[in-house]
C-alpha cells in the first residue's frame, strides 16, 4: 500500500512563509480586523456597560430570579442584538480573509478582499452552521470523536471557498487530504495553537499586572472594588486581546492555507 507523505514543507517553513505573507499584507489585514472586529467589539462592550453595572449591583451571591431579571431587561436585549451583529461581521471577516489568502496573486486591496468575502458570505454562513452542528454533536460523543473530526475537517473552509465545493463535499475532501496523516496534521495544529497561546499570554501581561495591582489594593475586601474600576480593567483586557487577535487571526488563516496547499500536493484525490 502506498504510504502518503506528510507534505513537502516542514512546520517552520510553512510558518515562515505565512509570516512573510502576513507582514507583506499587514495593512489590509489590520484594516479589515479593525472594521469588522475591533470597532464592533468596542461598541458592543460600551453598550454592555449599563448591563454590567446592574449585574455588579447584585453582589457576590445573586439569586437566580435576580440574574434572570437582568438578562430579560432591555439593557441585555441591546447587548444581545449587537452581539449578533458582531457575530455576522466576524463571519464576513473570516470569509474575506480566507478569500484574500486563496485568491490574492500579488496584492489585493481592502475593497477587493471585502467584496470577495461578501460574495461568499451567505454560503459561508451556511457552511459555518453545518460545521458547528456536526462538531458539537461529535464533541457530545465523549469529546474524542470531536477532536478526530476537527483535525479531519481542518481544511474544509479553504476547499469550500477556494474550490467552490458544497458543504459536505468540502468536508469529505478535507478528510481525504488528512487521512493517513492525521497525527502530523494534529501536530501542526497543536504547534500553531501553542504559538497563538504564547502570543495571547504576551498581550495579557499588561492587563494582568493592572489587575494584580488593583487586587492588592483591595485585598482585604475584593467585593468593594468600584464598578467603574472593574469595567475599566475589563476594557483594557479586551483591547489587548483584540491586539493579540490582530496577529493570531490572519496569521492562522495564512498558516493553515499554506499547510492545506502543501498537503494537497501529495494527497491522493480521485478526480
Backbone angles phi, psi at 125, to 5 degrees: -60, -50
Place of cell 478569500: 99
DSSP assignment letter at 219: T
Neighbour tally for 221: CB within 10 Å: 7
* Section 38-58 average pLDDT: 87
Reported as a single tens digit per residue, the pLDDT across 186-215 is: 999 999 999 999 999 999 999 999 999 988
Confidence of residue 2 (pLDDT cuts 50, 70, 90): very low
Confidence of residue 4 (pLDDT cuts 50, 70, 90): very low
The model's pTM: 0.90
Alpha helix stretches (DSSP H) within 57-166: 64-71, 74-103, 110-140, 144-152, 156-162
Q: Which three cell numbers stand for residue 108?
A: 489585493
Nearest CA-CA partner of 28 in 124, 123, 87, 96: 96
Reported as a single tens digit per residue, the pLDDT across 222-235 is: 667 888 888 899 99
* Section 21-28 average pLDDT: 96
Which secondary structure element, helix H or strand E, spans residue 250, and what is its range?
A: helix 227-265
Q: What is the pLDDT of residue 63?
A: 81
- Is the pLDDT confidence value at 1 over 70? no
CA distance between the termini of the chain: 20
Cα four-point dihedral sign 138, 144, 146, 152: negative
- Helices (H) then strands (E): counts for the chain: 11, 0
* Section 152-172 average pLDDT: 96
* Section 127-137 average pLDDT: 95
Q: Average per-residue pLDDT in the chain? A: 91
Confidence of residue 17 (pLDDT cuts 50, 70, 90): very high
Q: Is 20 exposed, middle or buried (0-12, 13-18, 19+ CB in 10 A)?
A: exposed
DSSP assignment letter at 8: S
Instruction: Give the separation between CA 230 and CA 214, rounded to whole angstroms.
Output: 9
Which secondary structure element, helix H or strand E, spans residue 210, and what is its range?
A: helix 182-217
Amino acid at each position: 500500500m502506498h504510504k502518503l507523505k506528510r507534505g513537502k514543507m516542514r512546520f517552520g517553513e510553512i510558518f515562515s512563509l505565512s509570516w512573510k505573507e502576513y507582514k507583506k499584507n499587514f495593512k489590509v489585514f489590520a484594516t479589515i480586523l479593525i472594521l469588522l472586529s475591533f470597532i464592533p467589539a468596542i461598541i458592543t462592550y460600551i453598550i454592555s456597560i449599563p448591563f454590567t453595572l446592574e449585574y455588579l449591583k447584585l453582589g457576590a451571591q445573586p439569586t437566580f430570579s435576580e440574574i434572570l431579571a437582568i438578562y430579560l431587561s432591555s439593557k441585555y436585549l441591546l447587548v444581545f442584538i449587537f452581539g449578533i451583529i458582531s457575530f455576522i461581521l466576524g463571519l464576513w471577516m473570516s470569509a474575506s480573509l480566507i478569500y484574500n489568502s486563496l485568491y490574492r496573486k500579488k496584492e489585493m486591496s481592502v475593497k477587493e478582499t471585502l467584496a470577495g468575502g461578501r460574495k461568499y458570505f451567505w454560503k459561508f454562513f451556511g457552511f459555518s452552521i453545518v460545521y458547528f452542528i456536526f462538531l458539537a454533536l461529535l464533541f457530545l460523543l465523549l469529546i474524542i470523536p470531536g477532536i478526530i473530526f476537527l483535525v479531519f475537517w481542518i481544511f474544509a473552509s479553504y476547499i469550500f471557498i477556494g474550490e467552490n465545493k458544497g458543504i459536505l463535499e468540502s468536508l469529505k475532501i478535507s478528510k481525504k487530504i488528512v487521512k493517513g496523516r492525521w497525527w502530523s496534521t494534529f501536530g501542526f495544529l497543536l504547534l500553531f495553537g501553542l504559538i497563538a497561546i504564547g502570543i495571547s499570554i504576551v498581550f495579557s501581561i499588561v492587563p494582568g499586572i493592572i489587575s494584580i495591582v488593583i487586587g492588592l489594593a483591595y485585598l482585604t475586601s475584593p467585593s468593594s472594588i468600584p464598578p467603574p474600576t472593574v469595567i475599566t480593567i475589563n476594557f483594557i483586557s479586551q483591547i489587548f486581546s483584540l491586539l493579540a487577535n490582530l496577529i493570531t487571526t490572519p496569521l492562522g488563516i495564512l498558516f493553515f492555507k499554506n499547510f492545506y496547499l502543501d498537503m494537497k500536493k501529495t494527497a491522493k484525490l480521485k478526480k
